[in-house]
Amino acid sequence: MSAADTEEKNQLPRSIVSGRIAGGRLLCGLLQGIALYLLYLAIQKKFWPGEVPAVMRPALILFLLWPPLLISAFGHLSLRRIWQWGLLAAVLLVALGYYDFWRLDTDLDTALPVRDSTALPSIPLLLCAAAGFFIAQALILAAVQDRKLIASYSTYFEVAWKLAIQLKFATLFVSMLWIILWLGASLFMLIKLDLLTHLLREEWFYIPVTSLAFACAFHLTDVRPQIVTGIRSLLLVLMSWLLPLATLIVGGFLLSLFWTGFTPLWATRHASSVLLGAAAVLIILINSAYQNGEVGKHIAAPLRISARVAALLLSPIVLIAFYSLSLRVLDYGWTNNRIIAAACMLIAALYAIGYARAACSRQDWLKQLAPANVVASFIIIAVLLALFSPLADPARISVASQLQRLYSGKVDVTQFDFDYLRFNAHRYGLGALQQLDNAPPPAGAATVRAGVAATRNKKGRWEQNDSERRAGMTAAVVAGNIEVFPAQRTLPPAFLANKWLDHENAWSLPDCLIRPGQKCEAYLVRLSGNDKEQILIFSAASDPTVFDIGSDGQWQRAGYLPVGRCSKEIKAALRDRRYRLLPPALQDMEINGQRLHLNPASDIKLTCKKD
């Protein structure tokens, strides 16, 4: 054993209650708050590095995630090990942050006017980096505690759960702190003193206070390990008793497939994600019952049986998910979501293999779960690093897949999704569009260039250009979207030819008037008491809308019909002409030359009558 390890061994028991450790943690939290405030100020005031996303994104992710790593390491690692691990973590965070900027910074060509210049890191990177470094921190702390590269599973379990509960308690502590501060501000406002209210709204105050409070809460939970242990035990016991129910549901689902077959499953188009979710739930609940691997003899028989059965059910669940994904990939190639799903399936497959081995073993109850969980933890870290680096960037792999399908003729050029390259594949997609423009496949070169030009001019993934949308919504298209009642009637030509996309708040009109392929039902009704007809349109996305001819002779929206949940019954009555006009219960009012109408109260409930 080295001198440094001996020194660490002698100092660790005292470090937890050491005033220097508490001071180091609080100082780290305070410095984090100051750094985040200065970065916030740089963004707001637009000075360096606020205007340089290539610097700001790595800096933000570094100061958001790096200080908590140091705070949790104080008292458990020697200063030498803290700086070794801290330096490695900092380099990884900065590299991930810069690559996040590079892949999203799509200013490759002025002909492709899309540039994600925000200084904030992407949400998926923040969440996955936090999860990955949490796992890495637990692995490192456990290894140091056991003084060997691979610690015992019991140590991994204790360290990981302690960190998780500390984070939850710290979050709760910070939340309660701000509730109390705002309560105090409200009390002072009662006597017309608003100093605290203004203080709580100042960034230079609330950002450092929040980070300092988090560090303080983390230290307090670290010196009260018995609290953490008690809460963990209660939580795991409660969760473990959900395992029999989950096992019964998943087992019933698998048995049902013998009668229903797989066709309904494939028709959902999201079977893989649901199956992976089911596998994740089983893994969590199995580990809730298994805990640290030393409670097997005290586990109730229903839990012991359910855990074994659930461990065996993982394999068919993962196999079905893999087959479902493979069908989509063979038909449509790789996309970002499918690559992420494949990565999740790789991890789920490792769990399934290890858990099936544990369930079939005659050794102590599920003893093989421990090595399976440890191996999976290392693999998860490796997979996350690969997904957020050039090694296995989903955008890079999916673009290569889609281009290969296009050049090989597996997908027709008229069916190729150019919008995916533009709006979903970031830098790699825009590079592919340039490649297609410069060197299109020989078959359909003109069509490819036209597709590239069309997607360059679009403002959004699912939106056409305004000119395209207006040109596309012809009178014939609108007429094709709408089914008219009575069936022998047609809508007035002036109504169909109306430029509905030019109307104010056009987005709130029935979809059939502004988007092709959207279906509505239109009823010709007389609501004015004379021979003039109005049009009542029912659509799936909005309330039934009444249209009438205005004083300028143009068709316009006149109001809405509050049918609530009685749409089906009311449409049946309208088809049979079973309606009559009634005078309003309350007359309209004219105030300052404006006619005002009383809308029905929201608490008036409509009774759905079939007759």
| Lookup: tokens for 580 | 């009559």
Which pLDDT belongs to residue 209? 95
Which pLDDT belongs to residue 459? 65
Measured on CA atoms in the order 600, 603, 608, 609, is the torsion positive or negative?
negative
The single-letter DSSP state of residue 598 is P
CA distances from 513 to 194, 468, 470, 510 (A): 51, 15, 11, 6
Question: What's the rounded mean pLDDT across residues 476-492?
Answer: 91
* Confidence band of 4 (pLDDT split at 50, 70, 90): very low
Which pLDDT belongs to residue 474? 86
Which pLDDT belongs to residue 600? 65
Which pLDDT belongs to residue 317? 95
Is the model more confident about 117 or about 178?
178
pTM for this model (two decimals): 0.75
Question: What's the rounded mean pLDDT across residues 442-454?
Answer: 85
Cβ(413)–Cβ(444) under 8 Å?
A: yes
Which of 53-62, 395-404, 405-414, 464-473 has the least mean pLDDT? 464-473
Phi, psi of 365 (to 5 degrees): -50, 115
User: C-alpha 92: how far from its chain's center?
Assistant: 24
* Confidence band of 93 (pLDDT split at 50, 70, 90): very high
| Lookup: tokens for 128 | 């996955």
pLDDT of residue 11 exceeding 60, the answer is no
Which pLDDT belongs to residue 99? 93
pLDDT of residue 111 exceeding 60, the answer is no
Query: Which tens digit of pLDDT belongs to each residue from 23-32?
Result: 889 999 999 9
Which pLDDT belongs to residue 606? 67
Is the model more confident about 260 or about 250?
250
Tokens 């499953």 belong to residue:
265
495, containing H or E segment: helix 493-496
Which pLDDT belongs to residue 137? 95
Tokens 């073993």 belong to residue:
361
Which pLDDT belongs to residue 156? 93
Secondary structure of residue 537 in the 3-state scheme: strand
Which pLDDT belongs to residue 109? 44
Query: Which tens digit of pLDDT belongs to each residue from 359-402?
Result: 988 777 888 899 999 999 999 999 999 999 999 999 999 999 99
Which pLDDT belongs to residue 13? 44
Annotated domain spans of the chain: 3-233, 241-387, 394-463, 468-582
Which pLDDT belongs to residue 470? 63
pLDDT of residue 200 exceeding 50, the answer is yes
Question: What's the rounded mean pLDDT across residues 218-243?
Answer: 81
Rounded Cα–Cα distance for residues 57 and 177 (Å): 29
The single-letter DSSP state of residue 389 is S
CA distances from 169 to 215, 216, 606 (A): 11, 11, 47
pLDDT of residue 485 exceeding 80, the answer is yes
User: C-alpha 3: how far from its chain's center?
Assistant: 48
Rounded Cα–Cα distance for residues 327 and 263 (Å): 12
Is the model more confident about 457 or about 611?
457
Q: Which of 452, 417, 277 is nearest to 335 (CA)?
A: 417
Secondary structure of residue 451 in the 3-state scheme: helix
Which of 202-211, 300-309, 520-529, 599-608 has the least mean pLDDT? 599-608
547, containing H or E segment: strand 545-549
Which pLDDT belongs to residue 112? 42
Which pLDDT belongs to residue 279? 95
Rounded Cα–Cα distance for residues 29 and 220 (Å): 14
Query: Which tens digit of pLDDT belongs to each residue from 268-294?
Result: 778 888 999 999 999 999 999 998 877
Tokens 């494949």 belong to residue:
342
pLDDT of residue 1 exceeding 50, the answer is no
| Lookup: tokens for 215 | 């560090």
Rounded Cα–Cα distance for residues 206 and 161 (Å): 29
pLDDT of residue 150 exceeding 60, the answer is yes
* Confidence band of 37 (pLDDT split at 50, 70, 90): very high
Which pLDDT belongs to residue 461? 58
The C-alpha angle 580, 479, 556, rounded to 5 degrees, equals 55
% of residues, the chain, pLDDT over 70: 89
Please, what is the average pLDDT of the chain? 85
* Confidence band of 223 (pLDDT split at 50, 70, 90): low
Which pLDDT belongs to residue 43? 87
Question: What's the rounded mean pLDDT across residues 161-180?
Answer: 92
Cβ(314)–Cβ(355) under 8 Å?
A: yes
* Confidence band of 611 (pLDDT split at 50, 70, 90): low
* Confidence band of 18 (pLDDT split at 50, 70, 90): low
Rounded Cα–Cα distance for residues 603 and 601 (Å): 5
Which pLDDT belongs to residue 134? 96
Which pLDDT belongs to residue 347? 96
pLDDT of residue 469 exceeding 70, the answer is no
Which pLDDT belongs to residue 378? 96
% of residues, the chain, pLDDT over 90: 46
Is the model more confident about 562 or about 196?
196
Residue by residue, what is the 3-state secondary structure of 167-228?
HHHHHHHHHHHHHHHHHHHHHHHHCCCCHHHHHHCCHHHHHHHHHHHHHHHHHHHHCCHHHH
Cβ(65)–Cβ(93) under 8 Å?
A: yes
